[in-house]
Amino acid sequence: MKSILLIGIGRFGKHIALSLNKLGHQVLAIDNREDRVNEILPYVTNAQIGDSTSMEFLDSLGVENFDVCFVAIGKDFQSSLETTSTLKELGAKMVVSCAASAIHSKFLLKNGADEVVYPEMQVAKWAAIRYSADHILDYIEIDDSYSIFEVSVPKAWLGLSIGQLDIRKKYNINILGLKQNGKMDVSITPDTILTEDKTMLVLGEYKSLHKCFHI
């Protein structure tokens, strides 16, 4: 369990708060709007109304005691930048800030953000890949080169074993597990047979995955 400071409870911030609550973390949520604070209060450890651009206010929260500080201020980039910078000045251990563009990201990283996330861009990329191909069921980007895909078993592979296909040697792709009826099985061997009722979780360079599965 971690101690989290969440600043900004708009659409993205609210989803972060709900997810952290499900994971069992302690969350202090901050926003300058009373309605948002009241709405999120049942789902977090505590919530306060406050101006995150005020050094005095942030200092009163003891930001250095939190494991992670999320800056999820969406539309007001100036406030996001000031908040990020002030958090770092006050000794925050880890600051994760939300950006809408590469330019925003650059300024946030220069002004104290340890990590930057692009909610809209990341979801847009996921949706484009997920829904532009019938056989792609899910997608996780590891870095600029590597990704994990959940894919349907190609028809030509049905009835064959993982060892027979040897896609690791042919395409430099690893099969991490097989999913059936919503349950993941990672105890696969070269003798495991691929069937139509299963999907595969595969890891590799994007260009290799693209070549192998025609993404």
Average pLDDT taken over every residue of the chain? 88
Q: Residues 103-149: pLDDT tens digits?
A: 888 899 999 999 988 776 666 666 666 666 667 788 777 777 888 88
Alpha helices in 90-205 (DSSP H): 102-110, 119-131, 162-165, 167-171
Q: Provide the strand spans (E) within the chain.
A: 3-7, 26-31, 46-49, 68-71, 95-98, 115-117, 136-141, 146-152, 174-180, 183-185, 199-205
Q: Residues 33-90: pLDDT tens digits?
A: 999 999 999 999 999 999 999 999 999 999 999 999 999 997 788 999 999 999 999 9
The confidence band for 1, taking pLDDT boundaries of 50, 70 and 90, is confident
As a whole number of angstroms, the distance between CA 200 and CA 171 comes to 15
- Which amino acid would we find at residue 47? A
As a whole number of angstroms, the distance between CA 16 and CA 70 comes to 9
